[in-house]
Amino acid sequence: MERPADFARPYSPRLFFQTVIARAYPRIIGTQREKSWLFFDVFLPMLAVSAYVFVYRAIGAPETYIGFVVMGGAMTAFWMNILWSMSSQLYWEKEQGNLALYIIAPNSLMAILLGMAFGGLVATTLRAFAIVLFGSLLFKVQFAVTSFLALFGTFTLTMVALYGMGMMFSSLFLLLNREAWHLANLAQEPIYLLSGFYFPLRSLGFWVAASSSLIPLALGMDAMRQLVFLEGPSFGFLNVGIELAILGALSVIFLIGARYLLAYMERLAIREGRLTDSRR
């Protein structure tokens, strides 16, 4: 018996959280089985960090820039996780034939993606911490955290907005089908530039930096740099409070957008019955 096009899943908080835990489990356990991944995920970003550090020291840039580069190198891990393990995930699941199972299952697609996000966040946080640790020891970065609570809150809000954007993009990538691979490749390097991974965000100019504020990583890194480094506020784009307010608004917008886009995608799959066809 086919489900009607206007079918709505019954919401169950218990099933929602069980789905989140079940989908996060393989990603958390998987990182422990492939120790080589941890080496390459830390070693390769450190090469890019080292290159920028040597350039900044060669031109006599302020020492604070070295800390900016180390933090930016750590945050690249989160962007790569969003781009390849979140936004493109449903597309890969369709190619492997698993998307149909997700569609017909009684659990929420948002719970499945949230579980992927949580599992990926745990592993990515460990890699980012390793990059910060090795980078600070290797290049003698001096930190001056003004408030650990504010720093933790800023990081959490940034991750909520960032993974909300990833969930929203996952449905868009799926609807665009084979173009998802090209879009993921296209978005990788420009985000490094627009988010100010290796330099202060305000260096882009006010209007470009303001446009880049739609990317949660841009404002999140700018706020964290102001909270972590002594001279951070002098290189900041906006006041930390304003940036946190914008991040909060982006979190709400992206999560609501993800909810509606995932629901639309599911209705499309049920109505047309072709969304899960990998040839399409």
Pick from 168-172, 175-179, 209-213, 251-255: least confident: 175-179
Can you say whether residue 170 is alpha, beta or left, with left for phi > 0 and alpha for psi between -120 and 50 degrees? alpha
pLDDT at residue 277 tops 60: no
pLDDT-derived band of residue 1, with 50, 70 and 90 as boundaries?
very low
CA distance 18 to 133: 34
CB within 8 Å of 110: residues ≥ 6 apart? 167, 258, 259, 262
**pLDDT at position 266 over 80:** no
Q: What is the pLDDT of residues 206-242, one digit of tens each?
A: 899 888 888 898 999 999 999 998 888 888 888 999 9
The pLDDT confidence band at residue 98, using thresholds 50, 70 and 90, is confident
Q: Is the pTM of this model over 0.95?
A: no
